Amino acid sequence: MPGKPLQVFISVIRRELLLAIRHGADSCMIVSFFLIVVILFLLGVGPEPGILSRISAGIIWVSALLSVMLSMDRLFQPDYEDGSLDLLILSSLPLELIVLAKIFSHWLTTGFPLIIISPLLALFLNMGTPGYSTLLIALVLGTPTLSLVGAIGAALILGARRSGVLLSVLILPLFIPIMIFGVSAVDAALTNVSSKPPLLMLGALLLTALVLCPWASAAALRQAAE
């Protein structure tokens, strides 16, 4: 029996979270990847505190971008492989909303842990104290946008050859604007300029992506399941 829309929405989120918890290693792997990329930057650039604090925001954002990108393939791929995608398309809830529920749970299991661990990384990178709160706000506004935009790419590559590399070619260019505003917000805070304009831009990007991305990903999923 089809449930009420809200019930279905919540049950999709619950299913996704349950799957993420059962495969607990996934979220840990994303966070470890995030850490390792930052450490690679640290080792590559060298431990000079002045340089590190200058580029800290950029390193954290690039690492977050790569981590989210790597985690994108598990958003739709397992459902596509085991056939549950067809059931989700047939459900009483519009596919756009199901996609939104999936993206939300994806963000809770990947973007959110990244936000929690980011102050620690900012500490590693010798970021100035005024940058911390702005970095957190920028990540809270930016990482959901990354998940939303990435979902389009994840839906488009279902069934493609060499899908991993393909995904990065498709979505990393689309991630660029989010990263630019995210980094410039933190840089503004560090240089005592108002970080409000870039943060507002991040918010605008989030709202736009919230409206358009589920729609585009749903269209891509439908053609993949055809």
Binding site for other proteins (CB under 8 A): 152, 156-157, 159-163, 166, 169-170, 172-174, 176-177, 180, 212, 216, 219-220, 223-224
Q: Give SS3 for 69.
A: helix
Q: Give SS3 for 105.
A: helix
Which residue's CB is nearer to other proteins, number 18 or number 160?
160
Which residue's CB is nearer to other proteins, number 115 or number 225?
225
How far apart are CB 37 and other proteins at their closest, in Å?
A: 21
CB 202 within 8 A of CB 182: yes
Tokens of 36: 């390792």
How far apart are CB 176 and other proteins at their closest, in Å?
A: 6
How far apart are CB 156 and other proteins at their closest, in Å?
A: 5
CA-closest candidate to residue 158, choices 68, 96, 86: 86
Separation of alpha carbons 174 and 193, rounded Å? 27
Separation of alpha carbons 111 and 103, rounded Å? 10
How far apart are CB 47 and other proteins at their closest, in Å?
A: 26
Which residue's CB is nearer to other proteins, number 174 or number 210?
174
Which residue's CB is nearer to other proteins, number 111 or number 198?
198
Q: Give SS3 for 194.
A: coil
How far apart are CB 163 and other proteins at their closest, in Å?
A: 8
Which residue's CB is nearer to other proteins, number 122 or number 178?
178
CA-closest candidate to residue 30, choices 76, 70, 73: 70
Which residue's CB is nearer to other proteins, number 133 or number 191?
191
Integer distance in angstroms from the first to the last C-alpha of the chain?
Answer: 25
Tokens of 174: 């689309």
How far apart are CB 31 and other proteins at their closest, in Å?
A: 28
Separation of alpha carbons 79 and 77, rounded Å? 5
CA gyration radius, the chain: 18
